[in-house]
Structure 1
C-alpha cells in the first residue's frame, strides 16, 4: 500500500485513518464535510451498541473499543473521553446484553464529540496523515489517485457503493442546562423504538431520544422535543424547568448488517468497505478500524481481495 485514501471524515473514517497513519502508511482522508458537520458530531457519545447488526460481532467490536476508550479517558480534557457511572433502565426490565461489558456498577465511556473529533484529526495530522475536503460522486475518483481505498462514507455509501440497503434512522436530542446530574441514564421500552436517556457532557445535559427509520429530515420537531423533555423529567423532575440550549438532529447510517469486507473496484484498486454502523459508530469505531486494517493486510499478502 503506497497510499491509502479513506473516504469519510466521521468517527469511523478518522479512527481507521489514525491507525493506518500511526503505523507509517501514507493516508489521506477525503470528506465532503468538516468533522464538526458529520453525523458523528451530533452523537450523544454514550458507548453502547445501539441499532447495529450483527449483534454478537458488534459486542466484540464494542468490547475491543472500550479498551481504547478506557485508555483515552486518562486524559479527558485532551481527548473528550470520560468513564462515567450510569444506570441502565429503572430495574423493571432486565438490562440489555451489552450491559455485561461495563460491569456493576456500570461505568462506560461517555465521549464529548466536540473535543473527540478534533482530537482524532490532530492525532492523524501528527502521524503524517492529511484531511481534504472532497465531494465524491464515485469511489473511482479516489482509486484514480490511490491504489487502496477505505470506504467509510456512512450514508454516502448509498450512492458511492450503490448500496440500497443503507438508510437513515433519524435521531433528535435536546441539550439543556444541567441542574446537577453527573451520571448517565438509559432506558428502552420493549417492543418500541422509544428511548429515554440523559447524558451529562461538559457543555450541558443531553436528553434523548428518537429513532425514525427511513426519515432524512434534519429539521428539529418541536413535538418530539417536548416528548423527550417530558420523558426525561419523569426520571429527574427538575428537567421540566431546565433551560433549553440547543436542538440537534442527526441521521444514523443504518444497514441490516455492517459492511466490513474487501472488493476490487472496476479499475483494479483494492477497496475495504467499513460502513453501516447505525447508532453505534463511536462504540465500535476502534474494533472495526482494526478489522478493516486486517482485511487490507490480508488482501495485500494474498495479492487479491477475498
Structure 2
C-alpha cells in the first residue's frame, strides 16, 4: 500500500520507518527536515512530559523506552542510557510512569543535592537529537522511503497523492486540519560544553521555572522553560540568564563550561495526544500529533500504533 506521511520530525520519521518495515511504499512530505525541525531542539531524554491520557501515554512510553534502550547498543544512533535523578523538596507520590522504568528507585542520600530532601533515581535513554535524527533519515532512505520538501496546507492536497495519509504535522495541524485545541509550549535551552556532570538532573520544585541538566557525549543541555501560548522563536536573553542561574544550583560548585548556543523550540501542546484513524469518503488519515513535551518519548509506541491502524483499515 502507498502511504503518505506528513511531517519530518521524530514522529513522522518513526512512522515512516515502521510503515516501510511493514512492507508499505512510503512517501514523506515535510516543510522542514533535520536539522531544522522542532525535534532538533529537544534536549532530549526519555521522560513523558506534558502528554495525556495517562493510560495510552504509559503504553507508548514503555514501548519507546524499550526500543530506545535497544538502539543505544549501536553508537551511530546517538543514544546513551544513563542514570539520573529527579529531585524534590518534599516527599512526592510514586510517578505514574513507574511501570515503564525497571531501574526506578528512591534516590540515595549521596544522590540528593543540597536543598533537596527526596528524589527518584533511574536509568533512561538520553538522545542526542542531531545524531539520532540523521540516523532516522538514513534508515528511512535505506528502506526505500521517498522524501519531498514541500508544505501541505490541506488534507485534500495530500489525498491527491495517496488515499492513506499519516498526519504528523505537530503544531502545523492547526492549519492542516483546523485543530484549534493545539497550542505552542515554548521551550528555551542552552547548549554548553564540556559536560559538567554525567547523566541527567531534573528539578520541577523550582518556583521560577523547571530546571534540568542533560549531559550528552560532548556537550550538555541546560533548561528550561514551558510557556503555554507563546509562539516566539526568538531567544530571550533574560530567560537564558535565569536558566543558567537555576541550573548552577544543580551543578558542582565551580563547574566551568562555555555556553555554545541558546535555542528555542515550540512543543505541540494539546489536552490529549491525538492518535486515531479518520475516514473521509474514500480517503483515510491517521492523526498522530499533540505529544506536548514527549515527542521522542512516545515516538516508537505511537509509530507502531499508527502502522497497526493503517493495516486495520486496508
TM over 0.5: yes
Q: Which residue of 2 aligns with 1:303?
A: none
| 1:155/1:276 contact within 8 Å kept | yes
Change (3 A) 1:176 1:24: same
Which of 282, 295, 299 is the equivalent residue of 2:313?
299
Superposition pairs of residues 280-299 of structure 1, within 5 angstroms: 280-299=294-313
Q: Which residue of 2 aligns with 1:84?
A: 82
Is 1:167 the equivalent of 2:189?
A: no
Is 1:189 the equivalent of 2:217?
A: no
| 1:179/1:238 contact within 8 Å kept | no
| 2:196/2:255 contact within 8 Å kept | no
| 1:232/1:239 contact within 8 Å kept | no
Q: Which residue of 2 aligns with 1:205?
A: 220
Superposition pairs of residues 19-38 of structure 1, within 5 angstroms: 19-38=18-37
Superposition pairs of residues 152-163 of structure 1, within 5 angstroms: 152-163=168-179
What's the TM-score once normalised by structure 2's chain length?
0.90
| 2:48/2:57 contact within 8 Å kept | yes
Q: Which residue of 2 aligns with 1:219?
A: 234
Change (3 A) 1:133 1:225: same
1:57: Cα distance to partner? 1.4
Q: Unmatched 5+ residue regions in structure 2?
A: 105-120
Q: Alignment partner of 1:262: what SS?
A: strand
Superposition pairs of residues 110-189 of structure 1, within 5 angstroms: 110-189=126-205
Q: Alignment partner of 1:197: what SS?
A: strand
Superposition pairs of residues 234-253 of structure 1, within 5 angstroms: 234-238=249-253, 242-253=257-268
- Please identify which structure carries the higher helix content: 1
Is 1:279 the equivalent of 2:278?
A: no
Give, in whole Å, the separation in 1 of the partners of 2:197 and 2:173: 38
Give, in whole Å, the separation in 2 of the partners of 1:71 and 1:295: 25
1:98: Cα distance to partner? 2.3
Coordinate RMSD, CA, aligned: 1.7
Q: Alignment partner of 1:210: what SS?
A: coil
Give, in whole Å, the separation in 2 of the partners of 1:239 and 1:134: 48
Q: Alignment partner of 2:293: what SS?
A: coil
1:203: Cα distance to partner? 3.5
Give CA deviations for 1:163-188 in whole Å, capped at 9, x if unaligned: 00011000000111235411210111
Runs of 4+ in structure 1 over 3 Å off: 90-93, 237-241
Q: Unmatched 5+ residue regions in structure 1?
A: 301-306
1:100: Cα distance to partner? 4.9
What's the TM-score once normalised by structure 1's chain length?
0.92
Q: Alignment partner of 2:84: what SS?
A: strand
Q: Which residue of 2 aligns with 1:260?
A: 275
Give, in whole Å, the separation in 1 of the partners of 2:41 and 2:190: 11
Is 1:229 the equivalent of 2:215?
A: no
